[in-house]
Amino acid sequence: MAAKQHVLVTGVNGYLGAHIVDQLVKTGYRVRGTVRSGKLDLARESNAMYGKDVEIVAADDLAFGDFTEALKGVDAVIHAAAPLFGRASPEEALTAAIDGAMNILRQTEKMGIKRFVLVSSLATVASPDDRTSLVWTDKDWIEVSREQALASKDPGIVYVTEKVLAERAVWEFADTHPHVDITTVNPPYFLGPYAPNFRFTDASLAQMSTNNLLYLLLDPAGTPPIPVPPRHRRPRRRARDRPRAHGSSNFGGRAQAPPVPPPLRRLAGGRGAHRTGTPRAARAPLAARTNGLPGPAAEDKPARQLARGRDSEVGRAE
């Protein structure tokens, strides 16, 4: 029996990170997860149900820390750790997101690991207020700058800026390191149940991630925290679908999968997503890259996806 592939996942104590761990283990992978030292004991306790398939280690400095030990024996990396929205100062958030992604990516390549997935955001591609664009391609980016984000001090602008600049830096690295299979997953809002290994660390809405939108709708004011333009609902996904996207993007959605041709930028839109671009997913070579989303366990109508590589053809959807 072949040994299980080993995946390093950063930020496993988060809402999304916990789902990634849970689904990787259930599909036959071993996981090494990172959390901050202060959350190490809780993360180990919450993941004890997986036995030897999950190991939790401390990583306090994504931007400048040494990941040598964490990366030993690893076959692939999923970088899901990110600053919490509005929690850090603008400078801290930008540094953690951009330098953090590049630090772990450089060390991944240095250790000879060939597969890397970055959790990005649909916010890097198109504004939710943009009702004019009907086709999105891998050339679409929100125009941002670090200077504008720092000057604005607006958490939303800072968040979009950190996601855009981090992903752009990763793709610049991909251009000069074609031997590394790099995938970015660009999801919208995601909602749904918590993974069995997720634990709250404090009683706050921020701990609920984007699920807090549902609870804030019950506020007497009856309004969500971020304005939603009329006739333009923000795209969303079930939380359980996002880890499937990560797995299918770089590992084929199953253990012991062969490598996929790099590079790939995947937009994981959901029901309500106002995007109509579709790839030639039925034809090689993209066909091999697009299986597994949202997965066989989906309870309702599957969300459409847009998987984009540099050889993709994008057109209007039906």
All structural domains of the chain, each given as residue ranges with its CATH number in brackets, are 6-316 (3.40.50.720)
- Encoded tokens for 215: 């609870």
pTM of this structure: 0.72
Using one digit for the tens of pLDDT, what is the confidence trace for 244-260? 555 544 443 433 433 44
Using one digit for the tens of pLDDT, what is the confidence trace for 181-213? 999 998 887 777 888 988 876 655 555 666 666
State the pLDDT at residue 2.
Answer: 73
State the pLDDT at residue 198.
Answer: 87
Q: Which stretches of the chain score pLDDT less than 50?
A: 222-240, 242, 248-260, 271-318
Single out the residue of 136, 120, 138 nearest to residue 184, CA to CA.
Answer: 120
The angle formed by the CA atoms of residues 48, 53 and 56, to the nearest 5 degrees, is 60
Q: Where are the beta strands (DSSP E) in the chain?
A: 6-10, 30-35, 54-58, 76-79, 115-119, 181-186, 189-191, 236-238, 264-267, 277-278, 306-308, 315-316
